Structure 1
Amino acid sequence: MVLIQREAQLAQLRTAFDTCTESQGGRVCLISGAVGSGKTALLEAFVAQVTGGRGHLMSATGSQVERHLPFGVMDQLIDSSGLERASARKAATVVRHLALTTSPPGTPEDDALHPPAPGSPPPTATSAAYGLFTSLLDLARPLPLVVTIDDVHHADAASLRCLLYAIRRLRHKHIMVLLTESPMLRTQHPQFRAELLSQPHVSRISLEPLTDAALSRLARIHPVPSEARDSVVREAPTLTGGSPLLMRALLDESCTAPPPPSEASAVSDVQPLPVSALHGTFDQAVLRCLYRHEPEVRGAAQALAVLGRPTPLPVLGRLLGLSPEFTTQSLRLLRRSGLVSSDGLGHPRIVDAVLADLSTEERLRLHRRAAEVLHEYGAEPGVVAAHLVSADWAEPAWADAALHETAAQALDAGRPDVTGACLRLARGAARPGSRWTEADTLLLRSRWQINPLAAATDLGALTAPGRDADGPGDDAEATDTGTGTGTGTGTGTGTGTGADTDTGTMADQRYGPEAVGAVPTLLWHGRPDTACRIVRAVAARAHPAPDVRARLDAARLLISLVHPDRYPQARADARHVADAGTATSTTGRHLDAMTLLADTLTPDRARHDTVGNAEVMIQRYTADEGALGPLAAPLLAMLYAGRPDLVVTWTRVLLGRPSVGYAPSWKAVLHAIHAEAELRLGALGDAEEHARTALTVLTPQAWAVAVAGPLSTLIGAATEAGRHGEAERWLAKPVPAESFRTPLGLHYLLARARYHLATGRRRAAADDLHRCGKEVTTWRMDTATLVPWRLELARVHLAFGDHCAAVRLLEEQLDVRQSVDDRTRGMALRVLAGLVPPERGGGLRAQAVQLLEACGDRIELARALADTGQALRVAGDDAGARPYFQRAGQLAQGTGSPALAQRTARAAADLPLCPRPRGGRQHSGDDAKSPGAGNTNSSGNANSTGTGLSRAERRVAALAAQGHTNRQISSKLFITVSTVEQHLTRVYRKLDVKQRTELATRLSSVRSGVPRLDG
């Protein structure tokens, strides 16, 4: 057995034994240490060293369950002595008579259990002592006698009196007595301990917790798998508290632990069960430590586990019903055993093990008592409410206030599960006909974040009794004329104008300001008429408070964004309302975020600083861990502003926040936004993965009206990849008719139109695109990043052979008034380049390549490069065309579009191995040298100066020379930071400069040739 940090104690025991061997008299050693400190291991290590032919052993172990059994320990010693049966029986009799004759006055003894032999006179103390020592000396005569008693604090009183009698007479004998004890809350056998420690030949040995270095050494010598050793060494100090028992259990458990998860399982959303849930070796060791303590100490550990946080001593003592002294001592004992850390809490695994050992009734009792005591001492409402919920107890008069306050705070902190638990305990769900309260709104919002289908059941309380279910009413289901089939072919026209039918005074009186909070959920489930009715009813009340007016403004704007045919004036007034300085409130933050989105979707109000403002909002909202509600709008604004690369970056950050795990609905929304951004970057595989995840986290039914979003992404990705059968299966999924009255419905129509065009259904594609154009025109949201319907309709006209109509639509799409982003402009220029004369088409293709490379859409960039290569091939420049086809093929390979990859690879393979020489005819743009040539960039843009820099590289170099950072250059040129870095790397190489400060000097000689930054 290997001992760590116990070498000095073991040497002290060997010295005492050598003293006995050398006839210097007997010795008594008392080993003291906390539960699990390794007393038994030290005892066994010593015995193994000295009893192999060097001494005779008698051993016993005290037990908590046998402490009231008279002579139990002495019987163990006699049984382990090796005496013959007759001698052992004689020794046992002597021991019992010795205990009787040495019992202190007034000590009750059960003589009836051990009566003397019939006819034999009771022996005197002298004869009994003489008989005992004769037996002991007979054993110790050839070799020293070693007597060990483990856990002597649990020994019975009768055995201790016999032992103490013998210890007094060991001073000149070859006998060594070795005792181990653990400190207790109440000192056991104080008279025995006092007299024992007063003997001159008694020495004490204390065992302290293992140091971090000792724990590390123990892990190194233990046969632990190498992949688990570092983790054990790192966690051992906090997990074991230096307890050898817990450390060895942790090491043994690590040897049998399952292998680490593979890469495939590591990235999945399914998390393995925690080790503590498996009742492993470590958890069993925790319980062994726990039950070797007294009930009061064990109760302190259980109370700390239930409390779950550091607790002042008076509160803990009141909860346990112990005095301050006993409470302090209990914590000290638990700390020395490694079960409790210095702040009063044990490691989460220890807490889990203690809680798992509690019965349901005991745990409920402790939580109820904790709630009472904490409320009495003025704890935070959230702390008290947590115990009320755990105890399923809301009877006290003060419980309702604590639960409601905690519910509101938890929702703002991103814990809808806590909100729902508190409100379900405080009150039941709202019923039709009852007044809607703020608690109803909180419960509705929390349920939506966890499961929108559960939230739908609460919306019935907002509906006029008997109206929506039995006949025509003023909800969306009754008044909207849009219809749709179960196969996603919805053709609803949506004639709502925002003027709802009045349902009467009684219905209006039921809607107070609290009901405005239900508007987002109503819109999610396709009930815009009910939402409008609530807003109108609340607005009609006399003299609404400022906060109520702000909530009404936010509700109107949200309705207008989700259903643009409602409250169109709300979008026009949003900027004025948002500038009113309300951004310090929750409503103000929502209003600011929605205003930014409204500006992005309105062509005549689009701002050049949309992306920067969106990032500032996200950074401000993510500074504190909390709800994700205000973040969807700035993410969408960033997406519609043409920066899907930033959307991908931010959604990855947000999906890693802990609060996402408590709000599946927000998690699904983030995955859906991430999927659409990946689709716009040409990453078809990633787009499909995140869209599928969005429909897994929330079922399509739970997505309700918003299901059009992830479905449109899946349809678009499958169509781009050439998997038309898969796209058709996604199109077969049912979409509510109300979806087609929302911007997400336009995404769906555009994706369906692309599918129709790809499968030869040109007329169906044209119908969907004409409908998109009609809706965005009516809604005043005709922005290219929402739906570039003109570009797609131009492709349809090309399929019909109507080139003139296609050119007209493309030129309209390129009009600056349509808020065209770089991606849409690049795609439109690429298509237009094939419809104009060659001398103009080359320049258009070069611009398209530059724009698409900057925006990051790999699929469209591959197409533009392939078109450029084809134009060079037609012009007779096979050598110049090959690099374009090769790069296009490389891009297509990484996008997940095998059809595009095959076409580009086939085009490159069709080029002759011996390229034709270029003709003398110059083609603007198309005759540029291939990517990677000395005086061209990767997009095929020829250089007009002798610097060797492309136009894009010169723009980046000029800004860098002026002192702009890479991120500032990225924002000014609307390219990614990675693209800026790549351009600068090439600039440094071509200009032979080593640092940024040399750029200005190097470019000064050709300053006149630097292009305009806005050109």
Structure 2
Amino acid sequence: MSAGNAPPGPVVIFDADAIDLYDPPRTPPAVVDRESCAVADLVGQTRIAEVMSIIDAEATPELIARILDADPQQVLSALAWMTQAGVVDGGRIRDPELRRRLGHQMSIDTRKRLHGKAAVALHESGAPATTVAGHLSAAGSFGYPWAATVLRNAADDLLAMDQIGRAVEYLEAAYRATTEAGERAEISAKLVSVEWRVNPSPATRNFARLNTALQTGRLSASTLPAVVRYLLWHGRVDEARAVLDLVERDRAMSRGVPTAELAFLRSWIAYSYPELPKPRTTTQPAATVPEASCVQVIAANLLTGVLTDCAGETTVAAAHRVLSRHRLDSSTLDALTTALECLIYSGQLEIAAAWCDTLLAEAAARCSPTWQSIFAGLRSEIALRQGDLAAAVRLAMAALNYVPAANLGTSIGRALSSCVLALTAAGRYDEARAQLDREVPLTLFDSRFALPYLRARGHYSLAMSKFDDALLDFQVCGSMMRRWRMDIPGLLPWRNDVAKAYLLAGDQRRARAFVTMHLDLLGDPGRHESGAVSLRLLAAMEADPRAELRLLRRAETIARSGHDRHELAVVLADLARAHESIGERDRARSVEQTALRLAGECGAGPVRDRLIGDRTAPSGTPSENTGAPPDVGSLSAAERRVAELAAGGSGNREIARRLGITTSTVEQHLTRVYRKLRVRRRTELRFLLRKPL
């Protein structure tokens, strides 16, 4: 590349395929003419172009010279000729096709060697970690003492931009680049954290590496809180206990996990996995950290508030502060979900829905199916509490399908329970049964996710007239809530559920006792929407039609002030019947039309069917498609007594008087009788029960 021997004009013929770049033409030393100089210049320019195709935007004369071990001035001169020839423009090869051909004609070894030299040169020149890491990865050579650090830093930068695939690639390269066991353990923990965003599987190579690092004690204290969460997510309770012991031991020695983070970890475990023994501590953490400056401290206080008075102004304000000030990432995920739950349980469903939609969109934008599953499950619970059954099912199914359900661990309980409750309320019993047939981890019952799951299973059992099964689930749920000190009406009104089961089983005394206990816990029925359910259940046990009407009107007022359109539809359906019973037929018809509209909007098939008098079996009853004859033996004793009296021609009020139950209870028994026996009207009962008119 001698400027003195260069031709008078630039070399404009640049055919990369015409030159063997690493076997240039050899001219006898004694014969150096103008033509050989031109060829030598062309070869040199091609080598420069080749390097430029490798480093592309980072190309500078100095960097190219370092990679080629050439004179920077000669490189600069050659670049000037190439620019005049139109080959280079703005420091880059102008033609993309030429860049591609240059790359393809190089051998693999040559390409890797150039990438390796580029990585070294770029690192020494202070280039960004992502730039250097790209060349290291392409070179497949990590034998530099700084390689692992650069690769890890590049992975962190890529994660901030949600480029998860490349981040995993660089972390895997960093794992191979280092021989330090402790650093490999840290990289394994990081890889599990990244993989967890996409698919939280415990069957990956990196999860196995993490377990090995944990057993050999090579994990640093800063990684342990996240490890505890992963282990509990997958139900590995004993291993999680062992890690917690390590965390507490290190903390007792004034080292390891920061105080604020440890405070949140303790509160989160007490809230999410209350069966896990509380760690033995001698100090109260987080007292020295300003609350406004640390999301972990705010979230720890928020968890305490949820377990005491989730509707308190201080707790709700803290929830708003967490949601408005912190972006979604791995470190804020649990705090953000806790804040959403606080808003849900305090009855601020519209605000919670808006925040949840925002976080769900952010989770999608940040390429995290796991986060999408978590927020879709929360959004499903909100939709269920709003009485939007179709949306609750749709969102719950999405939550169960963003990642394989088997990898959802204990968190499957939330989406599964919302799905089953919504399907049951919609009368889609076969689908609800199919969801309940899903396998759930046994450790689900060590977590708070067991509560909604038991409730959902209990309500399905009620719909199937399996009162004993329903009572067992509801009572176990209540026992857990009391033992875990979570007996909060806004969280789960289990006493109402028990009362409903007793009422449908014909035990009004026990039903009234549990309704009264729930109202006593509320203090004022209007304090929470569950008060409307309590009043409706009391109305169903009221023998005086006027007293029943008063209770239902009060229940209607509470239901209208809340968010649950399904509950309002049920209250209005009962209210229409109550107006009819005292002769207020016009009023009954008006209320019935409103109830029908709401039931249609909610997708509440059983409510709609009861209102329009369609006593055909809903399209999901267990025996409908079997082709078997109606099974009279499937009726409970209470249902059989009511069915026999109805078949004999007795009216609902007469049946209620003779059996000592309310008219509403009679109607509910008959609804189940019609569904089980697949009949439309009571005159058909006499053929099945062999009772004369």
Within 1, Cα distance between the matches of 2:98 and 2:531? Answer: 60
Please show how residues 604-683 of structure 1 align to structure 2 within 5 Å. 607-622=312-327, 628=333, 630-657=335-362, 660-683=365-388
- Residue 814 of structure 1 aligns to a residue whose secondary structure is helix
SS in 1 for 2:491: coil
C-alpha separation between the residues in 2 aligned to 1:623 and 1:460? 27
Task: Tell me which residue corresponds to 2:400.
Answer: 695
Taking a change above 3 Å as real, the CA distance of residues 435 and 799 of structure 1, as seen in their structure-2 partners, is farther
Equivalent in the alignment of 2:463: 758
Q: Equivalent residues in 2 for 1:499-510 (5 A)?
A: none
Q: Please give the residue correspondences for 1:582-593 in structure 2 after superposition, counting only pairs within 5 Å.
A: 584=293, 588-593=294-299
1:556 to 255, 263, 266: 266
Q: 1:403/1:831 Cα in 2 relative to 1: closer, same or farther (>3 Å)?
A: same
| Preserved CA contact (<8 Å) 1:559 1:567 | no
Equivalent residue number for residue 29 of structure 2: none
Task: Report 1:764-913 matches (<5 A).
Answer: 764-816=469-521, 822-836=528-542, 837-906=544-613
Partner of 1:539: 248
Aligned-residue offset at 1:635: 2.1
- CA deviation digits over 1:235-256, x for unaligned, max 9? xxxxxxxxxxxxxxxxxxxxxx
> For the Cα contact (< 8 Å) 1:459–1:522, is it kept in 2?
no
Does structure 2 conserve the Cα–Cα contact (< 8 Å) formed by 1:766 and 1:793? Answer: yes
Indicate if the aligned counterparts of 1:794 and 1:810 stay in contact, CA closer than 8 A: yes
C-alpha distance after superposition, 1:182-228 (max 9, x if no partner)? xxxx99xxxxxxxxxxxxxxxxxxxxxxxxxxxxxxxxxxxxxxxxx
| C-alpha distance after superposition, 1:646-665 (max 9, x if no partner) | 33322322232276553222
The answer to which structure has the higher helix fraction is 2
2:449 counterpart SS class: helix
Does structure 1 conserve the Cα–Cα contact (< 8 Å) formed by 2:310 and 2:345?
no
Q: What code does the residue aligned with 1:403 have?
A: L
Q: Is this contact kept in 1: 2:48–2:64, CA < 8 A?
A: no
CA 1:346–1:715 in structure 2 vs 1: closer, same or farther (change >3 Å)? farther
CA distance in 2, matches of 1:345, 1:63: 12
In structure 1, the residue corresponding to 2:603 is in which secondary structure?
coil
Percent identity over the alignment is: 26
Shift of the 817–861 alpha-carbon distance from structure 1 to 2, 3 Å rule, reads closer
How far residue 559 of structure 1 moved from its aligned partner, in angstroms, is 2.2
Residue identity matched to 2:342: A
**Residues 1:546 and 1:107: Cα distance change in structure 2 (over 3 Å):** closer
Partner of 1:438: 186
Provide Cα deviations, 1:687-708, integer angstroms capped at 9, x if missing partner. 2222222222211211122222
Q: What is the distance in 2 between the residues matched to 1:818 and 1:437?
A: 54
Give the letter for the 1:537 counterpart. L
Q: Is the 8 A contact 1:825 1:851 kept in 2?
A: yes
Task: Name the aligned partner's letter for residue 581 of structure 1.
Answer: P
1:404 and 2:165 aligned: no
Which residues of 2 match residues 377-396 of structure 1 at below 5 A? 377-396=125-144
CA distance in structure 2 between the partners assigned to 1:567 and 1:377 by the alignment: 54
Q: What amino acid is aligned across from residue 900 of structure 1 in structure 2?
A: V
Could you tell me whether the CA contact under 8 Å between 1:756 and 1:764 is conserved in 2? yes
> What amino acid is aligned across from residue 560 of structure 1 in structure 2?
A
Aligned letter for 1:858?
A: R
Shift of 1:417: 4.1
Q: Which moved more, 1:634-643 or 1:354-363?
A: 354-363
Mapped partners of 2:105, 2:358: distance in 1: 39
Give the secondary structure class of the aligned counterpart of 1:393. coil
SS in 2 for 1:544: coil
In 2, Cα distance between equivalents of 1:636 and 1:345: 56
8 Å contact 1:429–1:458 — kept in the other structure?
no
The reply to whether residue 566 of structure 1 matches residue 264 of structure 2 is no
Structure 1 unaligned residues grouped into runs of 5+:
1-34, 36-61, 69-105, 109-156, 158-185, 188-293, 466-505, 908-1015
Tell me the CA shift for residue 801 of structure 1.
1.6
Q: Give, in whole Å, the separation in 1 of the partners of 2:313 and 2:280.
A: 22
Mapped partners of 2:508, 2:392: distance in 1: 33
Once residues 103 and 529 of structure 2 are traced to their aligned partners in structure 1, the CA distance between those partners, rounded to angstroms, is 57
In structure 2, do the counterparts of structure 1 residues 605 and 726 end up closer, same or farther at CA, with 3 Å as the change threshold?
closer
Give the corresponding residue for 1:452: 200
Give TM-score scaled by structure 2 length: 0.70
Q: Aligned residue pairs: how many?
A: 575
Structure-2 change in CA distance of 1:67 and 1:457 (3 Å)? closer
Give me the TM-score of the superposition, normalised by structure 1.
0.50
Map 1:481-520; keep pairs closer than 5 Å.
Answer: 512-513=220-221, 514-520=223-229
Give 2:409's match in structure 1, choosing from 704, 722, 727.
704
- 2: distance between equivalents of 1:785 and 1:616? 21
d(CA) in 2 for partners of 1:443, 1:527:
19
Deviations along 1:788-808, one digit per CA (max 9) or x if unpaired, are 211111110111222232222
Bigger shift: 759-768 or 895-904? 895-904
CA distance in 2, matches of 1:843, 1:611: 34
In structure 2, the CA distance between the partners of 1:375 and 1:793, relative to structure 1 (3 Å rule), is: same
CA distance in structure 2 between the partners assigned to 1:360 and 1:747 by the alignment: 61
Contact 2:123–2:132, Cα closer than 8 Å, also in 1: yes
SS in 2 for 1:540: helix
- Alpha carbons 1:675, 1:691 under 8 Å: kept: yes
Give 1:544 shift.
2.2
How far has the Cα of 1:750 moved from its partner? 0.5
Question: 2:144 and 2:472 mapped to 1: Cα distance?
Answer: 64
Contact kept in structure 1, 2:171 and 2:191, CA below 8 Å:
yes
Query: Are residues 304 and 440 of structure 1, via their aligned partners in 2, closer, same or farther at CA, if it must alter by over 3 Å?
Result: closer
Verify the 8 A CA contact 2:247 2:256 in the aligned structure 1. Answer: no
CA drift at 1:603: 3.3
1:748 deviates by 0.8
Cα deviation, 1:618-674, whole Å, max 9, x if unaligned, reads 221238999745422222222222233333322322232276553222122122222
Aligned to 1:249: none
Q: What per-residue deviation string (whole Å, max 9, x for no partner) do you get for residues 703-741 of structure 1? A: 122222222222112211111111111111111111011
1:740-794 CA-to-partner distances (Å, cap 9, x unmatched) read 1111111111000000000010000000111001111000011123322111111
1:379 aligned partner, one-letter code: A
Query: Are residues 1:374 and 2:122 paired?
Result: yes
RMSD (Å) for aligned C-alpha atoms? 4.6
- Map Cα deviations across residues 515-574 of structure 1 (whole Å, 9 max, x no partner): 343111010111222222222233224622374444433332232222113355899998
On the 8 A contact 2:273/2:447 being kept in 1, the answer is: yes
Q: Name the CA distance, whole Å, in 2 between partners of 1:551 and 1:625.
A: 13
CA distance, structure 1, for counterparts of residue 336 and residue 320 of structure 2: 10
Higher Cα radius of gyration:
1
Kept in 2, the 8 Å contact 1:389–1:422? The answer is yes
The alpha-carbon distance between structure 1 residues 612 and 459, as it changes in their structure 2 partners (threshold 3 A), is: same
2:432 to 727, 747, 751: 727
- Name the CA distance, whole Å, in 1 between partners of 2:584 and 2:501: 31
1-structure distance, mates of 2:604, 2:160: 43
Q: Using the alignment, how far apart are the partners of 2:83 and 2:469 within structure 1?
A: 76
**1:876 Cα deviation (Å)?**
2.4
Q: Do the aligned residues in 2 keep the contact of 1:563 with 1:742 (CA within 8 Å)?
A: yes
* Counterpart Cα distance in 2 of 1:333 and 1:860: 79
- For residues 531 and 394 of structure 2, the distance between their equivalents in structure 1, rounded to whole angstroms, comes to 28
